[in-house]
């Protein structure tokens, strides 16, 4: 498969070119109206790089802050992709150096050097110029396989932005094997030609570059321990990319910090070390919801740690996710133009028969199906592809669309998984209730995709704000253009009121809620090249909605149960609160021993409300653990349960005379202040 | 002139107190015993509900049935009531030991404090406390006066009778314009009838109407006793009427408004009420008579339009309810009376007779009706 997206790209290029007909270098005419000849003089080729240099907002470089994030994001995506393809547990270091630490406080932006180092397979020397010096060059475009990158624009665009804003070339260190030599290359892109110009090219033994180990007190201290920071034993091969750029480092929503945090959540198999710049613009009020997890407070094995400014997102899972299989396009999803292009490609490479074309270039086309398709268009299966005339191609296209075919295979999709989603949410969000669900794979335009959703509710989440939506596509966090995203629409369309949440018409629900949506696909349909929002395909939105509803139902059930349990909890308090009065009265009337009666009654009160420690269903019946397979995909953090009503017995000291001994040290199970020990099941 | 009761007050009181005290202690001991043996503490309280009220046709009174409710400590809706019942029981025992009495309001304050360790009050208001005391009466089978509790005075008596109240002689012919206030407790150990020349009792609904009759010396002219109960008569007034009726053999005539409320008051005096059905035996006066105002009086007395007060939806509802009471249902006269009220669409107060003449009611209306024996019963 090739072509479709290229076609889209072409047309958008053409459209934009029309929008900007004034091409630099042409002399302005004195009189109005140009002849066709005059216009022909000005009509010429535009290189991709020229186009994107002018339209860098399309790639996510609209402002200095976002430019810094996009640069980090493109590099990190590539590292994770490369490691996974090389079947290597990813080890990543992200270093941002502030190159103008003495700038005035009023400066809107500063110059930074972003360096991202990975322990991936590395890049062979001859490919370096193409990869980093050319837009639309990559290994991922011409295939259907789930990966973070897909367009062949990402890293070279970041390099180009750096070059435009600082004039400095990209610096690449790459070591394509444990025993192979490392290369140190510096190159700048020529935007006119969309080709790299190499300014330095030498072999080196300095991989990973040692310089970074002594950058700050934090890096020095981390580098002291084995495997701590840029350890050569860990980075036995890999790639190190440095880009200098004009940017702005500022924490909060849409920041590098948030991006890395979310990346860690969606990629628990990666270990990521982040060295932020020495100077931070802290003038923002927008604090991230994913509060820093304090040491000892987190639940999952992995706890994010901070050593003198350096953040480590440790590896939470020791094995790689299963490998995503590459697939051929499914006949149901292709368009006529694509079919034509595929035929042409096949003809050029193979000169094969129509039968072989159908068998080899599509998925889910068996020999029998291929045979019957040939029959349908009235051709022998041995007919050479080169002999087809256009009318037959159209017939073939129709036949393909109407053929009875199995849906595309789904081993090309690797969801994050319910357990990991929950673990990630637990790690990042301090809530009371967590639920996750993974949908079965589905298909849009012939391309398989799979939706996962998770929600976190209650606890320390703010109760009066709109819910936060966290979006991922192929494990990459999407931080911008939320409202343009199909997932946002899906959240808005879901009736959260059914699950006891507020929701103004046509907007996000309001309440202590975080919603996470992940789209995994062999080709994620983004709305633009900056890969920020997912295009609004009905099939995708529907699956999202179903996933959200599954989570919502779990939340609704839980909230009902909680209400039941709370009632029981209240009950116990009411009983306990009157026992003192009753036993004193009994003593006054009949002379019975106050303490004895009190203790006996207290014991009964406990027994009566032991039910509060059980899970109850909607009708208030006790839920037997083994009878509830539905419990899967749910985590409840008990200690986060809000207190039901005031608990007088312990909080307010009562006059000693009125309070029989024995009430003071009443223990309430499951009301511990810490949140240790929630279990994943 | 009928029999005059003679009972030594102190001896009777002592015996009564001993019994009450024993009942309370027995109840507390049962609760404690259950608690200590791991059983749920419960108090059985006869149900003071409509469904547990029985119409005793033979006696012509309402009586409480056998149904009882268990008041439990470990029941969300009853826990507080249970605690309150214990508190009031304890207070009553204290009263008996101290040989003192308290008003309903006093009992509310006696039991009122903050539940240990909370900000919650033991009683939210006096109504809550009053209800618990009524429960306690039926629960241990002791009347309010036996619990040494009295209500505020809300009734007046005047007429040809002489009483002894706590040893003081009260000649009800010399009570000035205010009359003698009927105490809450009028049991024979407190009040004895010394002398009575009256031939009947006229009970009127309101103090204002009573004033009219007293000013016109009606009781003197007609040799009767004149009482008033401030709307629905409290237990003290009802008990007094009952004793006048039962012990002195005086017929009781009621002059009430022509509206569902007036009818209801009559039915309470005559047969008893649902919430105090357990007291009917001591309070009800099955041969009490309803003298008026009658629905026919608008025409019969030639009253002007101005006295009409339109029935509202609630009145209509109440009237139909009352018509369906078993003790009214079987009574053709009452069915016709209520029917007349409903078809006329308006009610009338006793005071409406003032439009005829200030003393029309005392000089014409009541004497005429008595003479003609024109009443409902
Ligand atoms: N760190 C790396 N290690 C190994 N290979 C890399 C690395 N970074 C990039 N590559 C290779 O370079 C190619 C181009 O990368 P680039 O980021 O420009 O595009 P992409 O990742 O294919 O798509 P996208 O534009 O969506 O990011 C990739 O397809 C990959 O084959
Ligand atoms: Mg990329």
Does residue A114's CB lie within 6 angstroms of at least one atom of ligand 1?
A: no
Instruction: Indicate the average pLDDT of chain B.
Output: 89
CB contact under 8 A, A604 and B82: no
CB contact under 8 A, B115 and A581: yes
Q: Is A334 exposed, middle or buried (0-12, 13-18, 19+ CB in 10 A)?
A: buried
SS3 of residue A583 by DSSP: helix
Band of pLDDT at residue A280, cut at 50, 70 and 90:
low
Identify the H or E element spanning A202.
strand A195-204
Q: Residues A652, A601: contact at Cβ < 8 Å? A: no
Residues of A in contact with B93 (CB under 8 A): 588-589
pLDDT tens-digit readout, A413-466: 999 888 888 877 887 788 888 899 999 998 888 789 999 999 999 888 888 889
Least confident of A85-89, A224-228, A447-451: A224-228
Distance between CA A268 and CA A316 in Å, rounded? 5
Does residue A157's CB lie within 6 angstroms of at least one atom of ligand 1?
A: no
Distance between CA B367 and CA B363 in Å, rounded? 6
Q: Compute the nearest-CA separation of A667 from chain B (Å).
A: 16
State which residue of chain B sits closest to A595, comparing Cα positions. B36
- Structure confidence at residue B193 (pLDDT): 93
Q: Which of B116, B121, B123, B136 to mutate to test the interface with A (most CBs of A within 10 A)?
A: B116
Q: Which domains does chain B have, with CATH numbers?
A: 9-39+76-150 (1.10.10.10), 156-372 (3.40.1360.10)
A 1-40 residues with CB below 8 A of B? none
Does residue A156's CB lie within 6 angstroms of at least one atom of ligand 1?
A: yes
Q: Which two tokens stand for residue A307?
A: 């050593």
CB contact under 8 A, B32 and A646: no
Neighbours of B230 (CB within 10 A): 15
CB contact under 8 A, A658 and B80: no
Residues of A in contact with B80 (CB under 8 A): 574, 578
Q: Is residue A138 predicted with pLDDT exceeding 90?
A: no
Residues of B in contact with A575 (CB under 8 A): 73-74, 79
For the four alpha carbons of A448, A325, A258 and A555, in that order, the dihedral sign comes to positive
Distance between CA A191 and CA A402 in Å, rounded? 45
Q: Which of A35-44, A374-383, A439-448, A479-488 has the highest mean pLDDT?
A: A479-488
All structural domains of chain A with their residue ranges: 52-313, 331-402, 431-556+607-681
pLDDT tens-digit readout, A88-120: 999 999 999 999 888 888 888 899 999 999 999
How many residues are recorded in chain B? Answer: 377
Distance between CA A321 and CA A121 in Å, rounded? 17
Query: Which atom of ligand 1 is least distant from the CA of A147?
Result: 21
- Structure confidence at residue B120 (pLDDT): 82
Q: What is the CATH number of domain A331-402?
A: 1.10.8.50
Q: Is residue A286 predicted with pLDDT exceeding 60?
A: no
Q: Residues A520, A452: contact at Cβ < 8 Å? A: yes
Mutate to test the pocket of ligand 1, among A78, A240, A526 (most ligand atoms within 8 A of CB): A78
- For the full predicted model, state whether its pTM sits above 0.90: no
B298 among known catalytic residues: no
CB-nearest partner of A586 from B86, B118, B119: B86
CB contact under 8 A, B82 and A658: no
B 85-144 residues with CB below 8 A of A? 86-87, 89-90, 93-94, 115-120, 122
pLDDT tens-digit readout, B167-206: 899 999 999 989 999 998 888 888 999 999 999 999 999 9
Q: Is residue A386 predicted with pLDDT exceeding 90?
A: no
Does residue A131's CB lie within 6 angstroms of at least one atom of ligand 1?
A: yes
Q: Is residue A7 predicted with pLDDT exceeding 60?
A: no
Q: Residues A240, A68: contact at Cβ < 8 Å? A: no
Task: Compute φ and ψ for B359, nearest 5 degrees.
Answer: -105, 20
Residues of B in contact with A574 (CB under 8 A): 76, 79-80
Please tell me the distance between residue A363's alpha carbon and the centre of ligand 1 in angstroms. 26
Band of pLDDT at residue A659, cut at 50, 70 and 90:
very low
Q: Which residue has the tokens 């003198």?
A: A308
Band of pLDDT at residue A303, cut at 50, 70 and 90:
low
Q: Is residue A664 predicted with pLDDT exceeding 70?
A: no
A 643-662 residues with CB below 8 A of B? 646, 648-649, 652-655, 658-659
Which CATH architecture does the domain made up of A52-313 adopt?
Answer: 2-Layer Sandwich (3.30)
Please tell me the distance between residue A198's alpha carbon and the centre of ligand 2 in angstroms. 21
CB-nearest partner of A582 from B38, B82, B119: B82
Decide yes or no: CATH 3.30.230.10 for domain A431-556+607-681.
Answer: yes
Higher-confidence position of B246 and A571: B246
Q: Residues A431, A636: contact at Cβ < 8 Å? A: no
Instruction: Return the HEC string of chain B.
Output: CCCCCCCCHHHHHHHHHHHHHHHHHHHHHHHHHHHHCCCCCEEEEECCCHHHEEEECCCCEEEECCCEEEEECCCCCCHHHHHHHHHHHHHHHHHHHHCCCEEHHHHHHHHCCECCCCCCECCCCHHHHHHHHHHHHHHHCCCCHHHCEECCCCCEEEECEEEEECCEEEECCCCCCCCEECCCCCCCCCEEEEEECCCEEEEECCHHHHHHHHHCCHHHHCCEEEEECCCCCCHHHHHHHHHHHHHCCCCEEEECCECHHHHHHHHHHHHCCCCCHHHHHHHCCCCCEEEECCCCHHHHCCCCHHHCEECCHHHHHHHHHHHCCHHHHCCHHHHHHHHHHHHHCEEECHHHHHHCCCCHHHHHHHHHHHHHCCCEC
* Strand pairing category for B252-255 and A195-204: unpaired
Q: Compute the nearest-CA separation of A672 from chain B (Å).
A: 22
B 10-69 residues with CB below 8 A of A? 24-25, 28-29, 31-32, 35-36, 38, 40-41
Q: Residues A547, A539: contact at Cβ < 8 Å? A: no
B370 interfacial to chain A (CB closer than 8 Å): no
Q: Residues A494, A469: contact at Cβ < 8 Å? A: no
pLDDT tens-digit readout, B210-267: 999 999 999 999 999 999 998 889 989 999 999 999 999 999 999 999 999 999 999 9
Q: Whose CA is nearest to atom 1 of ligand 1?
A: A79
Please tell me the distance between residue A668's alpha carbon and the centre of ligand 1 in angstroms. 56
B 189-208 residues with CB below 8 A of A? none
Q: Which two tokens stand for residue A220?
A: 């020095």
Which of A428, A445, A419, A442 is CA-nearest to residue A520? A442
- Structure confidence at residue A617 (pLDDT): 39
């Amino acid at each position: 498969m090739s072509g479709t997206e290229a076609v889209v790209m072409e047309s958008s290029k053409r459209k934009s070119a029309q929008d900007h007909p004034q091409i630099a270098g042409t002399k302005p005419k004195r009189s109005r109206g140009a002849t066709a000849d005059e216009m022909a003089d000005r009509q010429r080729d535009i290189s991709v790089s020229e186009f994107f240099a002018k339209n860098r907002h399309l790639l996510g470089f609209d402002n200095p802050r976002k430019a810094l994030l996009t640069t980090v994001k493109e590099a990190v995506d590539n590292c994770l992709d490369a490691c996974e393809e090389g079947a290597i547990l990813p080890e990543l270091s992200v270093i941002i150096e502030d190159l103008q630490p003495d700038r005035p406080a009023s400066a809107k932006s500063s110059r930074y050097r972003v360096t991202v180092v990975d322990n991936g397979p590395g890049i062979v020397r001859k490919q370096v110029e193409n990869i980093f010096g050319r837009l639309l060059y990559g290994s991922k475009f011409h295939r259907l396989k789930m990966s973070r990158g897909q367009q062949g624009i990402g890293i070279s665009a970041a390099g180009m932005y750096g070059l435009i804003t600082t004039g400095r070339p990209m610096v690449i260190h790459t070591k394509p094997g444990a025993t192979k030599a490392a290369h140190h290359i510096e190159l700048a892109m020529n935007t006119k030609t969309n080709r790299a110009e190499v300014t330095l090219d030498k072999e080196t033994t300095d991989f990973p570059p040692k310089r970074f180990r002594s950058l700050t007190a934090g890096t020095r201290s981390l580098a002291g321990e084995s495997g701590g920071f840029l350890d050569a034993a860990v980075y036995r091969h890999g790639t190190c990319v440095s880009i200098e750029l004009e940017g702005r480092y500022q924490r909060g929503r849409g920041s590098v910090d948030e991006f890395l945090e979310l990346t860690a959540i969606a990629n628990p198999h990666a270990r990521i070390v982040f060295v932020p710049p020495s100077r931070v613009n802290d003038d923002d009020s927008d604090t991230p919801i994913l509060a820093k997890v304090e040491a000892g407070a987190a639940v999952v094995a992995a706890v994010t740690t901070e050593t003198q400014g350096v953040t480590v997102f440790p590896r939470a899972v020791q094995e790689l996710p299963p490998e995503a299989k590459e697939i051929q396009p499914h006949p149901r999803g292709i368009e006529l133009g694509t079919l034509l292009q595929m035929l042409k490609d096949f003809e050029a490479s193979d000169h094969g028969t129509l039968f072989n074309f159908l068998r080899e270039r599509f998925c889910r086309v068996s020999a029998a199906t291929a045979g019957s398709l040939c029959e349908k268009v009235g051709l022998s299966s041995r007919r050479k592809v080169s002999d087809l005339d256009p009318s037959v191609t159209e017939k073939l296209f129709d036949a393909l669309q109407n053929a009875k075919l199995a849906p595309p295979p789904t081993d090309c999709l690797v969801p994050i998984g319910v357990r990991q989603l929950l673990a990630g949410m637990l790690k990042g969000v301090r809530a009371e209730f967590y639920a996750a669900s993974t949908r079965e794979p589905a298909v849009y335009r012939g391309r398989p995709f799979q939706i996962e959703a998770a929600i976190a509710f209650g606890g320390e989440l703010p109760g009066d704000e709109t819910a936060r939506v966290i979006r991922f596509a192929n494990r990459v966090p999407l931080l911008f253009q939320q409202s343009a995203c199909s997932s946002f629409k899906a959240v808005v369309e879901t009736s959260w009121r059914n699950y006891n949440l507020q929701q103004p018409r046509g907007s996000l629900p309001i309440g202590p809620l975080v919603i996470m949506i992940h789209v995994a696909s062999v080709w994620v349909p983004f709305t633009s090249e900056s890969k920020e929002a997912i295009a609004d395909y009905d099939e995708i939105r529907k699956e999202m909605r179903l996933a959200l509803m599954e989570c919502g139902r779990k939340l609704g059930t839980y909230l009902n149960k909680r209400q039941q349990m709370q009632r029981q909890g209240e009950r116990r308090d009411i009983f306990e609160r009157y026992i003192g009065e009753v036993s004193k009265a009994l003593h006054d009337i009949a002379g019975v021993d106050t303490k004895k009666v009190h203790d006996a009654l207290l014991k009964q009160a406990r027994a009566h409300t032991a039910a509060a420690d059980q899970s109850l269903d909607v009708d208030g019946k006790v839920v037997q653990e083994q009878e509830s397979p539905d419990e899967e995909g749910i985590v409840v953090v008990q200690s986060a349960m809000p207190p039901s009503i005031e608990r007088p017995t312990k909080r307010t000291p009562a006059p000693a005379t009125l309070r029989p001994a024995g009430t003071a040290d009443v223990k309430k199970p499951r009301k511990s202040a810490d949140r240790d020990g929630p279990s994943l099941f | 002139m009928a029999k005059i009761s003679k009972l030594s007050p102190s001896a009777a009181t002592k015996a009564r107190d001993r019994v009450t005290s024993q009942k309370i202690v027995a109840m507390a001991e049962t609760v404690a015993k259950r608690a200590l043996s791991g059983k749920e503490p419960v108090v059985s309280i006869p149900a003071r509900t409509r469904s547990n009220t029985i119409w005793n046709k033979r006696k012509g009174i309402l009586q409480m049935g056998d149904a009882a409710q268990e008041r439990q400590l470990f029941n969300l809706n009853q826990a507080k009531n249970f605690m309150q019942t214990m508190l009031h029981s304890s207070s009553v025992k204290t009263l008996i030991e101290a040989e003192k009495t308290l008003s309903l309001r006093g009992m509310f304050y006696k039991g009122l404090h903050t539940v240990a360790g909370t900000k919650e009050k033991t009683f939210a208001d006096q109504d809550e406390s009053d209800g618990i005391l009524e429960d306690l009466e039926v629960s241990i089978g002791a009347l309010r006066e036996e619990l040494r509790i009295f209500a505020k005075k809300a009734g007046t008596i005047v007429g040809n009778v002489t009483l002894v109240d706590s040893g003081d002689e009260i000649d009800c012919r010399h009570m000035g314009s205010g009359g003698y206030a009927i105490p809450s407790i009028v049991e024979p150990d407190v009040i004895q009838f010394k002398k009575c020349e009256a031939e009947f009792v006229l009970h009127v609904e309101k103090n204002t109407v009573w004033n009219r009759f007293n000013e016109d010396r009606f009781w003197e002219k007609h040799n009767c006793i004149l009482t008033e109960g401030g709307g629905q008569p409290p237990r003290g007034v009802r008990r007094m009427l009952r004793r006048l009726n039962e012990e002195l053999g005086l017929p009781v005539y009621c002059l009430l408004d022509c509206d569902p409320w007036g009818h209801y008051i009559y039915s309470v005096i005559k047969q008893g009420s649902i919430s105090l059905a357990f007291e009917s035996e001591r309070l009800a006066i099955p041969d009490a008579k309803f003298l008026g105002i009658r629905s026919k009086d608008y025409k019969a007395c030639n009253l002007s339009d101005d006295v009409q007060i339109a029935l509202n939806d609630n009145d209509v509802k109440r009237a139909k309810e009352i018509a369906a009471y078993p003790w009214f249902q079987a009574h053709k006269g009452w069915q016709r009376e209520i029917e007349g009220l409903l078809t006329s669409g308006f009610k009338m107060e006793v005071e409406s007779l003032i439009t005829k003449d200030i003393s029309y009611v005392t000089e014409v209306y009541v004497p005429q009706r008595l003479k003609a024996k024109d009443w409902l019963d």
